[in-house]
Structure 1
Amino acid sequence: MNILVTGGAGFIGGHLAEAFARDGHDVVALDNFDPYYDRRIKEHNVEAGRGAAANSDGSYELVEGDVRDADVVDDLVADADYVYHQAAQAGVRADISPRKYDEVNVDGTLNALDAAREHGVERFVLASSSSVYGKPRYLPYDEDHLTTPVSPYGASKLASERYAMVYGERYDIPAVALRYFTVYGPRMRPNMAISNFVSRCINGDPPVIYGDGQQTRDFTYVEDILAANRTLLSTDAADCEVMNVGSTDNIAIETLAEEIRDQLAPDLDLEYTEGYDVDADHTHASIEKANELIGYEPTHTIREGVSAFIDWYRDNREWYEPLVRE
């Protein structure tokens, strides 16, 4: 099977490309290596993809290009059976022009959708985000919850998923949008809460919490994200559907910091600093719809996932830690 993964050198896209190649598929990873975070982490994702292909019947090709380039996207989609559109300008807190979010996340998605319409792909899977919900009216979020994003990133992801659903309904593209909830795991983007807490504690520095630490998050281990995406290769049950992909529980940021601290450096105190207005106070996914449509059942609790990440961090500390701490 020919699979195009846009953003294929990023955190989630890199894991998808690696998994698909390991499963014996022919994978093309498109990435522009945006300097939002250190290119060297993306290069490790590429190495993982190539290694997976070398040890399977699959193949892996990296194309360094941009989803904003409609011609590049069209050429790649023309040879694809499945498109996993992971490419995006990330960053809820980042000081980035809203127009860049629009150019990458909305126009880039339209380029991919136009190409999918032109070439008749078997499935188009869009990476969306829990950021589309904004401030919670109730928890857990189900897919009927109001979508009132409070950041340019969230607004752009909502626009991209609505376009995917319109293309699905109007142009008969088998499109699915998955709303991810704070994904973490090996090779995760640096300077996110879990990677920061682990890095600081391992090095004897107190974990720093933004705000009072009572915010809660639904953290999703990357292996569970892979499972949901893999399932979409073998079922059409979710065509033209938006689904939450979260975990089995949520946790207060303060509690998360304490648990990581207690595993690594129990004598450290916690530190607190000013929070961010664009951060949701709480996130928690209802996954009933994904369970019903594609049998999605997350297998990692936050505590199990964090322990697995700590083990991975220790094994890969030599190359990963400098990039997290720079």
Structure 2
Amino acid sequence: MGIVSDGFVLVTGADGFIGSHLVEALVKRGKAVRAFVQYNSFNSWGWLDHAPPEALRGVDVVAGDIRDFASIRAAMKGCDTVFHLAALIAIPYSYQAPQTYIDTNITGTLNILQAARELGVSKVVHTSTSEVYGTARFVPITEEHPLCAQSPYAASKIGADQMALACHLSFGTPVAIARPFNTYGPRQSARAVIPTIITQALSGRPGIKLGAAHTTRDFNYVQDTVAGFLAVADSPNSIGQTINIGSNFEISIAETVAVVAEVIGVPLDIFSEQARVRPADSEVERLWADNSKARVLLGWEPRYGGRAGFMRGIAETVDWFRDPKNVASYKSDRYNV
């Protein structure tokens, strides 16, 4: 069936890491794209400012605030499909400003759902996160795994997910929930662990400062995550469903440092820095995705799966971070909350 193409495809959070890659992928598909970015007085479009001109050919960029219903409803007019990625995602900052996460992640999602209902949008792809599962109680983690909010961020995303499902069940809103595990790749903020490792490693300073290194994650290269979003939008079977987008490959943070060291070709020691350590009960110890539902329902599977795929994705990410113009705004010498 494919993405409905009679009108615009809207991407909220288009100025961010995954959102900017998704915009580029949609343009390559020949879609009419409207990119919703966070309003700011600098007129910055975030990572879209760094995209080559051909990647943004015909893109209608709209600045606004996901917390403001009027601005999001106006942006959604004439749109058939909506990819909702706009959110606050940094876990450490959610300890400091939990109300902001409620306002942005839950109220912002409600704004999308209400506008979709009023405007008759054909499909909303809502973005979840593997953090809603908390520390794995069983592995690999299926979509039936219990939800456990171990941070204010996770709680806000659970609330947003449940609002999306509630609108589908109550009003028939055509919502599908994409639940990506830990995405990495070019353009990711240094508040995430892989850019933190790479930028420190490339800086030439001895040692890598991290929080907990024993925890495990299911990392997904950004191109796989984007392909997962597109597959969710394409499939009529995804409406009303929550679908893991994960690699089904588990690796510890310490092992991830070793992979980066192997790719770069330098030995890397790990030093624990207390400021980077989450509160003990808030740390998600283990994440490992079961992606069988995505394979069966969507026909999606990761191209960067397994250890070999992970090394390939890390190599491509390192190559991007080696370019001085790409990392000009990064501050590798500081801890990014």
TM-score, length of structure 2 as denominator length: 0.88
Which position in structure 1 is the counterpart of 2:47? 44
* 9, 15, 24: which one aligns with 2:15: 9
After TM superposition, give the deviation of residue 157 of structure 1 in Å.
0.6
Partner of 2:67: 68
Query: Which amino acid is the alignment partner of residue 155 of structure 1?
Result: A
Say if 1:199 and 1:321, in contact at 8 Å, map to a contact too: no
Shift of the 295–49 alpha-carbon distance from structure 1 to 2, 3 Å rule, reads: farther
Q: Distance in 1 between matches of 2:174 and 2:128?
A: 16
Q: Which residue of 2 aligns with 1:311?
A: 319
Alignment of 1:178-197 (within 5 A): 178-197=178-197
Is 1:21 matched with 2:27?
A: yes
Which has the higher mean CA deviation after the structures are superposed, 199-208 or 282-291?
199-208
Matched residues, percent identical?
A: 29
**CA distance change for structure 1 residues 303 and 61 in 2, over 3 Å: closer, same or farther?**
same
DSSP 3-state at the match of 1:125:
strand
Query: CA deviation digits over 1:242-286, x for unaligned, max 9?
Result: 111111301111111122123325244322233212231111111
Shift of 1:96: 3.2
Deviation at 1:228, TM superposition (A): 1.2
Cα distance in 2, alignment partners of residues 15 and 147 from structure 1: 28
CA distance in 2, matches of 1:281, 1:223: 26
Equivalent-residue separation in structure 1 for 2:188 and 2:99 (angstroms): 26
Contact 2:62–2:75 under 8 Å retained in 1: no
Residue ranges of structure 1 left out of the alignment (5+ in a row)? none
TM-score (norm 1): 0.91
Distance 1:273 1:53, change over 3 A: closer
Are the equivalent residues in 1 in contact too, given 2:141–2:287 (CA < 8 A)?
yes
**Which residues in structure 2 correspond to 1:203-242 (within 5 Å)?**
203-205=203-205, 206-211=207-212, 213-242=213-242
1:29–1:46 Cα change, 3 Å: farther
Q: In structure 1, how many angstroms separate the alpha carbons of the residues matched to 2:209 and 2:39?
A: 29
Distance 1:154 1:233 in 2: 24
Q: Deviations over 1:197-221 (max 9, x none)?
A: 111111222222312x221111111
Secondary structure, in 3 states, of the residue corresponding to 2:59?
A: strand
Determine the structure 1 residue equivalent to 2:99. 99
Which one-letter code corresponds to 1:77 in the other structure? Answer: M
Across the two proteins, how many residue pairs are aligned to each other?
317
Aligned to 2:327: 320
Take 1:268 and 1:124, find their aligned partners in 2: how far apart are those partners?
Answer: 43
- Pairs within 5 Å for 1:238-257: 238-257=238-257
Task: Name the SS of the counterpart of 1:82 in structure 2.
Answer: strand
Cα RMSD, aligned residues only: 2.1
Unpaired segments of 5 or more residues in structure 2?
none
- The residue matched to 1:64 in structure 2 has which SS? strand
Structure 1 CA distance, aligned partners of 2:13 and 2:133? 23
Q: Secondary structure, in 3 states, of the residue corresponding to 2:158?
A: helix
Find the residue that maps to 1:93 and give its secondary structure: helix
Change (3 A) 1:157 1:49: farther
What does residue range 126-141 of structure 1 map to in structure 2 within 5 Å? Answer: 126-141=126-141
